[in-house]
Structure 1
């Protein structure tokens, strides 16, 4: 038998042990050696189990003494030399959770048994445990824990406080445990497959560590098992004895234990569920819990305690009253500590995804595979509580939190709301929170009127202060004038858009829109993505193409549909004057956003979608362009970064935005290609999956930098 590091991949399947016994230790050399001797004396054959020792940075030469004991037992027993497997691991991060999580990743057994290093293990413990797994459908089994008193048990130690010392013996017979029954933390076992299936792991903020001498994680895991429908059994024949040293048989130990239990319960109730389930912590709820606990403590201290003193209670009753008071004190102090303490100290990363509306952002199913799952927030009012709670522990350090803004220019805000959002972004940066921005473009990039300038200013501010930018463009270097933005930008294929899935017939759409009966090739432009100047640019190019001598477009009886109002005016007089003299130009002005039914009607009536833009690098938006491609319509777009390199060239006609002649040629080319068969682009080709994978990589990089 040799002391070594476990390597699962080097073992053959036939030699995998049934049980992995996990012992975590810190500067308790003599106690650990005693447990090892107990495990060596088990009646279960050595080939059925392995022992994993995780040293949490001990300084008492634990590794050397364990190796000495292993070699000593090896010389005495030939079977142990070949069959008994003992592995020694080292975990530098302080805390029982880190040590146990490391052991879980290295264990080879199908059953994981977690024991404290200060227990005495009965010789038949592992055999009884394995028998329970083989004869029941248990996913977890807790053994019986008796107490081994190293001093005389005082008369004032009542049975109701024995669980604080690790005692657990609910019945005399094997039974299935309910959710209300809390097992002992020093003796617990679970199937490894169940642990991985539920993605359960030990949380550092709920386990023993420096200055936090209590463990509630086994209780949390058992509740998760019960809620998922798994069975948790109790086996009275699997016995361990938990040592009770003389220094623990003091009232101060029990009072301190009650205090820390109150602290741990607040962490369990408010911190862990919020980050695991993607919920936002409620500042009001947490504050109310703190005030309620404080009032209970105050009531107990001022009124109940004096009355109980007058009744001359026994020593045990006085201890119980003191423990109750300490428990309430721990609860309210932990609440107010949470209000002040950064979540980074609790090692719980968090991500907040902010979008202008539910319809604006990614579909909800995109977040199902994320860990941690981001909190989805709609609107500009980023919760100040979230910013404060997730600030960095020290000035100058990075927080383990990420603020993700999706298309900041899409927020329709008043002056005060813009100031409030910028203030929150300033606070996020001040608190060390990483800022991630998705830039999807928008109509405001090509507009210069007073409703567009605030959007551009807010978007520019967000992009300049972002640690990382994701954009739907082909070339980030051409997209931004500021070269530093391009260096922090990742280009991503456009993930797709939502819209009408089925279109009405072309004849029906023409009739409903009032187009001439023998209309030919139809161009479509959605005005609410463009300025009046851009629409005039399109109409003059269309008229020039129609009257072109080289290609008689007029023989195709072309039509132009302009749907919606331009972004810069509700009264496009120049547009109306130009359209009044052209019977093949059809204006459908509507101040309201277009519905899916209207989008489908316009797309059904059209042969090609035209995007007239000025030569502005950041101009353009892909939503409706993508929708037109999905429904096999030609697309005429400028050769700008948001279109070129993002859209498939075989399905698009590109023109130079600074050249009207180029746009005219693009219009003519689309009409010539009218008879060609086109294949629509499926959602699966350019989907949200690529965007999701990129976002997950960035979240992992900023939330788990050490991994």
Structure 2
């Protein structure tokens, strides 16, 4: 929160080009000197405003500033000055507060102990006009308050704020940055890259100091142009208290800690592997090895060779910098990084590629969450880094359809051990239960999958189901109380457009005269369910076939993949040998083959047994997303499908009713299907999963405390 004071009446209606921002803390005398230097600018006063932000000073700075502004002479009344108060301690908070009220197109940032040259603002504005820059930094000279020590070499002057990379104007390339004491940025560009990071700018007890370097990194990455103008000159005070070796050694320590935080800030926007590399035990050991070499090898060598005092100071500063890096990495590994935004999310999916999980991860990242995806495993580094502290959750583990995971015994036990560790670390567990073939299959392997799924459901803090009919999904009251109905989104735009029918028929070996094609992904059904479909289809085909023996005049059935409970598919082979209108493709479909099968199909069939949670809703959404009809069981998971007019329901495990649904679905015309499904925003991959992610984020926020 902040309040405003000061200002002028005559300049309220004007829009200045520059907003000069001064942030101060317990330096009332110094900030008055900085204001005096801005008052003497040659630039016309209606072209710039000054915003002073007091960051919770205890020396009466707001009252002193108020008296200073009230004592202005009549000819200074058109000088536009405002005073704000930002009580959250931190330079980034103060600067972001000033940005909220800045009226200028360009924000100019000065330290409160800097003195601007008379033509400072004039040269800045001229550089913007002549170069088209998005950010401009000026030269910083030192104003010595005490004699320069003999050991203070030119290489150490930047520690005191000195900045002069060139004698002429030049464009800065990555990773070059501007001086934190004298820089300016267009407000639109600054807001586009997210403003200042409280993590990297100095605070009262944590004097990290790489906030401007991180800002320049983001500006470079976004393609903005950064320029240096040596004529835009300010003088930065070299305080007498800082002209001692202990100040330089302390600066080196916090420089090391700031570097690690900046590396992490840059890695958070990258892939999970890069984030793990930044915060890993290997990186920690690398810093420790560097520190050991400096202390055990290079320092004894310097003592033996009797190096100069400047050389000893440089080596000490480098050693302390490495120690700061080591401590910061160790701290981040020991305690989770404070998050300004939402929780971090670990999505755990089956070893096979899962398009729904990948789309959800993308949507969560677009909503600002740090989302990482693992395949049937939990990263120990992630669990430790996002563990709960002081009762506050820093991360959420979400398991996507755990019944679909086919894991060897050793890997399964390892997964259960890590899930136990996640619960011990206070991480909430969310299980997405959208059904699968294992609910209707017999045998030991499906039984193990059901046992694992049931175990995780009973341990979960929340259960996600794709329907609002939660009371129909679970018999147990404890599961119903933790279940949340979140209908899934579609896939339109994720896969390529289905192939033209003639091309798909040719590539799949289907006669061109075939009037209708049913599609079933057998790798998502049990063998018994697949055989039930084949039998219902055979009876329908015999009724509809106009000419006995001519298979090209009746409907055909595409079976893609093999049932997971019977990988050899011996019975399926026997059935296919007796049914020439059945096309069997044993290889599971790849992402680039989905358009081929959907291009040939008129309807997708989902044969299911009568289990409450049976049925893969994602397959139905895939077909609807691309304008194909769906034959689905009348089970709770399918109750909230979009474009329900394109879905024909049947009673699960009833072969006669499945035959009826196969016959009825043929009455849906292709044009009508495209019209019905095209009007459903839920079927769009981007907007549909965006809305799903936003509802999910609201659920995650319940776990923060």
Task: Give the TM-score band, short-chain normalised.
Answer: 0.7 to 0.9
**Partner Cα separation in structure 2 for residue 348 and residue 165 of structure 1:** 37
Give the corresponding residue for 1:159.
154
Q: Unpaired runs of 5+ in structure 2?
A: 549-553
**Partner Cα separation in structure 1 for residue 230 and residue 596 of structure 2:** 73
3-state DSSP of counterpart to 2:354: coil
1:361-440 alignment, distance < 5 Å: 361-362=355-356, 367=362, 370=366, 372=368, 374-392=370-388, 394-399=389-394, 401-440=395-434
Give the corresponding residue for 2:15.
16
Tell whether 2:118 aligns with 1:120: no
**Partner Cα separation in structure 1 for residue 115 and residue 49 of structure 2:** 18
Deviation sequence 1:135-191 (CA, Å, 0-9, x none): 322222222222223333322222221111111234444443454655432221111
**Partner Cα separation in structure 2 for residue 289 and residue 471 of structure 1:** 41
1:266-305 alignment, distance < 5 Å: 266-269=260-263, 271-280=264-273, 281-282=275-276, 286-305=280-299
Checking the alignment, whether the CA contact within 8 Å between 1:561 and 1:588 is kept in structure 2 is yes
Give the corresponding residue for 1:88.
84
1:576-595 alignment, distance < 5 Å: 592-594=587-589
Checking the alignment, whether the CA contact within 8 Å between 1:350 and 1:372 is kept in structure 2 is no
Give the corresponding residue for 2:254.
260
Give the corresponding residue for 1:233.
227
Checking the alignment, whether the CA contact within 8 Å between 2:11 and 2:80 is kept in structure 1 is no
Checking the alignment, whether the CA contact within 8 Å between 1:370 and 1:696 is kept in structure 2 is no
Q: Unpaired runs of 5+ in structure 1?
A: none
| More deviation, 218-227/461-470 | 461-470
Give the corresponding residue for 2:60.
61
**Partner Cα separation in structure 2 for residue 456 and residue 85 of structure 1:** 69
Alpha-carbon deviation of 1:646?
Answer: 0.6
**Partner Cα separation in structure 2 for residue 395 and residue 643 of structure 1:** 41
Checking the alignment, whether the CA contact within 8 Å between 1:142 and 1:235 is kept in structure 2 is yes
Checking the alignment, whether the CA contact within 8 Å between 1:500 and 1:596 is kept in structure 2 is no
CA gap of 1:388–1:346, structure 2 versus 1, over 3 A, is farther
Checking the alignment, whether the CA contact within 8 Å between 2:343 and 2:700 is kept in structure 1 is no
Alpha-carbon deviation of 1:604?
Answer: 7.1
Checking the alignment, whether the CA contact within 8 Å between 2:463 and 2:482 is kept in structure 1 is no
Which of residues 686, 691, 694 in structure 2 aligns to 1:693? 691
| More deviation, 608-617/498-507 | 498-507
Alpha-carbon deviation of 1:605?
Answer: 7.1
1:568-647 alignment, distance < 5 Å: 568-569=565-566, 592-594=587-589, 608-629=603-624, 634-647=629-642
Checking the alignment, whether the CA contact within 8 Å between 1:5 and 1:89 is kept in structure 2 is no
Alpha-carbon deviation of 1:341?
Answer: 3.2
Checking the alignment, whether the CA contact within 8 Å between 1:343 and 1:391 is kept in structure 2 is no
**Partner Cα separation in structure 1 for residue 125 and residue 516 of structure 2:** 77
Alpha-carbon deviation of 1:86?
Answer: 0.6
Which of residues 72, 96, 104 in structure 2 aligns to 1:101? 96
Which of residues 171, 174, 185 in structure 2 aligns to 1:190? 185
CA gap of 1:209–1:461, structure 2 versus 1, over 3 A, is farther
3-state DSSP of counterpart to 1:195: helix
3-state DSSP of counterpart to 2:205: coil
CA gap of 1:510–1:139, structure 2 versus 1, over 3 A, is closer
Give the corresponding residue for 2:551.
none
Tell whether 2:105 aligns with 1:110: yes
3-state DSSP of counterpart to 2:673: coil
Give the corresponding residue for 1:215.
209
Give the corresponding residue for 2:467.
473
**Partner Cα separation in structure 2 for residue 176 and residue 523 of structure 1:** 63
3-state DSSP of counterpart to 1:637: strand
**Partner Cα separation in structure 2 for residue 406 and residue 129 of structure 1:** 54
3-state DSSP of counterpart to 2:229: strand
Deviation sequence 1:321-350 (CA, Å, 0-9, x none): 322332233233333333323223798964
**Partner Cα separation in structure 2 for residue 320 and residue 396 of structure 1:** 44
Checking the alignment, whether the CA contact within 8 Å between 2:140 and 2:236 is kept in structure 1 is yes
Checking the alignment, whether the CA contact within 8 Å between 1:619 and 1:640 is kept in structure 2 is yes
**Partner Cα separation in structure 2 for residue 597 and residue 140 of structure 1:** 45
Which of residues 634, 642, 647 in structure 2 aligns to 1:652? 647
CA gap of 1:460–1:202, structure 2 versus 1, over 3 A, is farther
Alpha-carbon deviation of 1:254?
Answer: 0.9
Alpha-carbon deviation of 1:379?
Answer: 1.6
**Partner Cα separation in structure 1 for residue 179 and residue 625 of structure 2:** 59
Checking the alignment, whether the CA contact within 8 Å between 2:615 and 2:637 is kept in structure 1 is yes
Tell whether 2:342 aligns with 1:342: no
**Partner Cα separation in structure 1 for residue 138 and residue 279 of structure 2:** 38
TM, length-normalised to structure 1: 0.83
CA gap of 1:664–1:217, structure 2 versus 1, over 3 A, is same
**Partner Cα separation in structure 2 for residue 632 and residue 395 of structure 1:** 50
Give the corresponding residue for 1:49.
48
**Partner Cα separation in structure 2 for residue 556 and residue 506 of structure 1:** 26
3-state DSSP of counterpart to 1:451: helix
> Please, what is the CA RMSD of the aligned residues?
4.2
Deviation sequence 1:341-377 (CA, Å, 0-9, x none): 3223798964433333573124679728715464553
Alpha-carbon deviation of 1:383?
Answer: 1.7
Give the corresponding residue for 1:443.
437
CA gap of 1:348–1:701, structure 2 versus 1, over 3 A, is closer
Q: Aligned residues, how many?
A: 685
Tell whether 2:499 aligns with 1:502: yes
**Partner Cα separation in structure 1 for residue 182 and residue 688 of structure 2:** 45
**Partner Cα separation in structure 2 for residue 218 and residue 511 of structure 1:** 59
Checking the alignment, whether the CA contact within 8 Å between 1:3 and 1:67 is kept in structure 2 is no
Alpha-carbon deviation of 1:229?
Answer: 4.5
Checking the alignment, whether the CA contact within 8 Å between 2:441 and 2:528 is kept in structure 1 is no
Deviation sequence 1:415-472 (CA, Å, 0-9, x none): 2222222333333333344444444432223334322233334444444555555443
**Partner Cα separation in structure 2 for residue 633 and residue 213 of structure 1:** 60
Checking the alignment, whether the CA contact within 8 Å between 1:262 and 1:327 is kept in structure 2 is yes
Checking the alignment, whether the CA contact within 8 Å between 2:38 and 2:118 is kept in structure 1 is yes
3-state DSSP of counterpart to 1:418: helix
Checking the alignment, whether the CA contact within 8 Å between 2:627 and 2:678 is kept in structure 1 is no
CA gap of 1:61–1:565, structure 2 versus 1, over 3 A, is same
CA gap of 1:115–1:425, structure 2 versus 1, over 3 A, is farther
**Partner Cα separation in structure 2 for residue 123 and residue 510 of structure 1:** 77
Checking the alignment, whether the CA contact within 8 Å between 2:6 and 2:66 is kept in structure 1 is no
3-state DSSP of counterpart to 1:100: helix
